[in-house]
Structure formats: C-alpha cells, structure tokens
Structure 1
Amino acid sequence: MQVRGVTSGELDITDGTAVAQVVEPGWVVVNCAAYTAVDAAESDEDAAAAVNELGAANVARACARAGARLVHVSTDYVFAGDATAPYEVDAPTAPATVYGRTKRSGEIAVHRALPSAHVVRTAWVYSGAGSDFVATMRRLERERDTVDVVDDQIGSPTYAGDLAGGLLDLAADATVTVPTLHLTNSGQASWFELARAVFEGVGADPERVRPCSSAQFVRPAPRPAYSVLSSRSWETAGLSPLRPWREGLAEALRTVTG
C-alpha cells in the first residue's frame, strides 16, 4: 500500500476547490484533519466549524466526485459523556462543547455528501511526543515532585500508532460497508490511572501522581465524565480490535524514549 501524507500547511481543507484538485479516482482518503483546541473552540466557533464541518464536507464531496473512498476520523465528544457503559455507534449523540458539536456536524455532512463514507470515532489519542497528555506527564515527571490529575473522567486511552494501523486496515478492506465505527485501544482508565501508568512506564514512582476532582480544574469546555467507546461495531465488521491500552502505552513510551 502506498501512502501519501498531506499536512494542513500543504492543503487547506476549508478550500473546496483545492481539495477537489488533490483527490484522485481510486484513492482511499483518511481525513484526520480537525480543529482540536477544545477550550479555544468555545470562543471561536466559526474557526472550529470551518475545519470540522465545512472542511469535512469538502473532503467528502471531493471523494464523491472522484469516486474515492473516505475514512473520516471523529471523536467521543459527540456524546454527552454521562454514560455508565461503553457507547455503541448508534447511541444518541448530545455534544456538550463547541468542539463536539462541530465534529458531529462534520459527521452528518460527510454522510450527506458521501453515504458510503466511514466515520470512525476515537478517543484520548496520544503519541507520547509533542504536547499530548502522555508527553505532558513525561515532562511533568521530570519537573515536579508531585502531579495532581483528575480521577473522575473515564475514557479509552488510544496510542496513535495503533489507531493509524487500524485505520489503514479499514482503508485496505473494501468489503466493509458499515457507515460508523468506533476504534480505540481496549479497556478503560481515568486520566489519573493513565498518568500513573506513564510514571511507572518511565521508571518513576507512580505514587507521585495524586488524584483530584474535575472541580479543581475548571476548563472553558466541560470534559466528558465517561466517554468509553464500544468496539463492537469494529469487530462485527470483521476488523481486528486494538490491543489493551496498557500495551499500547508501553510501546509509545519505548518509541519516544528510544
């Protein structure tokens, strides 16, 4: 399989003409582009909607015109975040944030323009590099004696490398016709549990991570209390589920620490 990566600097998906000029017949397009600054979106809805809704629609329309397949990546934030069991793909959506609302609008726009497209929701994605949660915990482990992390938000930590592999599996399987799927590493954890696992994974004392409540870290955009996604849709489609999140984390840490 040949893969061509296009950065946001090379292609602005809010420009429908530019997108149409890039997509070619027979391609499988994996749209990972998104406005993901969850807090900033609360005061900049137009910018979030431009990428998450208009941009997604542009990509879907370009694929429809060219006869290309589309895999569009979405998020757990389309749900209310107040469930007590993993969300199935057909669970009612009720986004509580601008980010979630614009991503849900993007899902609808994609399927309106290209009904055969696959919308793949994921959650808590990290690589361990840059400024994601795992990378931040690695940095704070070096800088602080103790770190306070919320223990009342539960989700499915997902290693970007594993997510990419799953998306490529879907892209390579033209027999899958399911319109919406969920893809995360298996299992669930709180941010507190994930932070402790990071500390332990780099050889630090996990007791240095202390639990706290979300009320102690008020953010412009409310975070879901529970956003675990069920993998049933993925497995029913005949695709291989991702490994447990702790195994994915271990590989991420090995990769970033050399």
Structure 2
Amino acid sequence: MAIVLGPNRYGKAETRVVRVTRDGGTHRIRDLSVGIALSGAMEDVHLTGDNAAVLPTDSQKNTVFAFAKKHGIDAIEDFGLLLARHFVDSQPAIDHARVEIREYGWRRITGGHSFVRDGGEVRTALIHHDAAAESVVSGLTDLVVLNSTGSEFHGFAQDEYTTLAPTDDRVLATAVTAQWRHRSTSSWDESYRAARDHLLHAFAETHSLSLQQTLYQMGRRVLAERPEICEVRLSMPNKHHFLVDLEPFGMDNDNEVYFAADRPYGLIEGTVLTDDAPDAPSAFN
C-alpha cells in the first residue's frame, strides 16, 4: 500500500484591515477580514521540510496591508482579484490562489468622520484564480428577515412521531446566507446592492407555503433581474416562532404572542441557476 500526499493548501486566515480614505473632511471606511489560501508545487515542504517554495503567511498578511495602501479598497471583489492574481503571478511554485473576504459595514452618523456599524449582515466575496480560469462569488451572511404573516405550512408528510400542527398563518423568519456566482459584471458594488434588494423584495412579496418555496423565489428573482449572475446558493435556517399557550391565564392568543426558539432549527439550503450557467464546481469552495 502506497501512502501519498493529497490535495493541500496554506495561507493566512482572517487578516483584519481597515482602510480610511480621506477626502478633505469627509472620510470613507472599508473594514475587511481577508483569508488567503495558496496551492501548487508544495510536495517538498510536506515530505522533506524544504521551505524553498513557501511564501510565508506573514508575507501574505503584509501584502494585504501594502495593497490596501497602494491600490486602496473599493469593491471587495476587485481587491480580492488583485491579491489572487498577484500571488499566482509572482510566485513560481503557486498555481492557484483562493481569496475569501468578509466586509463589515459602517454608516456615517454625522459630519464627515463619525460612524456606526451598519446592520447585522456581512458582505462576502470568494475569488479563485489560476492560469486556466478565474471565478468570483459575491454574497452576504446573517441577513435577518421576518414576515409576521403571509406564511403557511400544511400538507406535509406525517409519521408516528409527528406532533407539529398544520397552520395557514405563521411567522416566517430566517437569517439568510447567500452566495451568487458571476458570469460577468460592470460594477461589483452596484451588482451587490441590486442582488441584495432583489433577495429582500422576493422574501417580502412571496406568499410562502414553505421556506423552500421562498428560497427558490429569492434565487429566481436575482437571476431574472441580474443577467451578470448565473447561480445563487442560499442557506436559510427556519427561526421558529411558536405561539405561547395563554389559556392557563384565561387569555386568548390570536397570533400575537410568540416564543422565539433559537435551537434546534430547520435548515433549508438550495441552489438556483440558469440552464446555461458555465461549469465551475470549485467556485464556492
């Protein structure tokens, strides 16, 4: 039986970089966490400890800071592409770069230089680059949404362990994690804002018979309205809200008072894509 080295990669995870752009008295902030993973001709370092092909992860961290100064940070997709191309082009041993970025939003309070963290969701980007291909996946996580009505759940399969009662009026709440793959784009920021808006409007405008149905309508809406996007992947926990039994207190509860349970929860995941989406099996990994 032979023992061999399998797929491997290495890099610097979660480099936090904050770039302040000063335009007179008005400032702009980009606050990122950058993860880099490089792969290529790394056999010797694993098998013999020869580090000749290894660019230190500390150097990767420093590159993030240097590029933030040299190039600035506009759309996180552009920043990720700059980094990925740099590592593949500058290091002979590296043939593939993976850059994952999370952006934490800040909103101006007043004046030009005071900010408050903006909302709960985090913008994301995942970039792959090698000599053969390049892919960009944009997205977001922890986008918490709720419909207080307009949601049903009935007609489901039942067995001897089923206790859930059917309902034609329930609270539907979730924390959306979404990723969408680009076939092309002219403006990453504009594309991101539009995709986010379509996700929100589809959630709000869908009379839901299941969270699965809502998931599909959200992905479908993005693809129908944004031709630069060819695939949407969604992960949506069902943040259950259970009616509280108030009868022991002599009170009715006409869909007014709920217990919001944090766990366990149903987890609904799915992919919606166009039938001409180019194959990119590793784009989301």
Between structure 1 and structure 2, the one with the greater Rg is 2
Which category describes the TM-score, using the shorter chain as reference length?
A: under 0.3
**Higher strand content, 1 or 2:** 2
TM-score between the two structures when normalised by the length of structure 2: 0.24
Greater relative contact order, per chain length (Cα 8 Å cut-off, separation 6+):
1
TM-score between the two structures when normalised by the length of structure 1: 0.26
**Higher helix content, 1 or 2:** 1
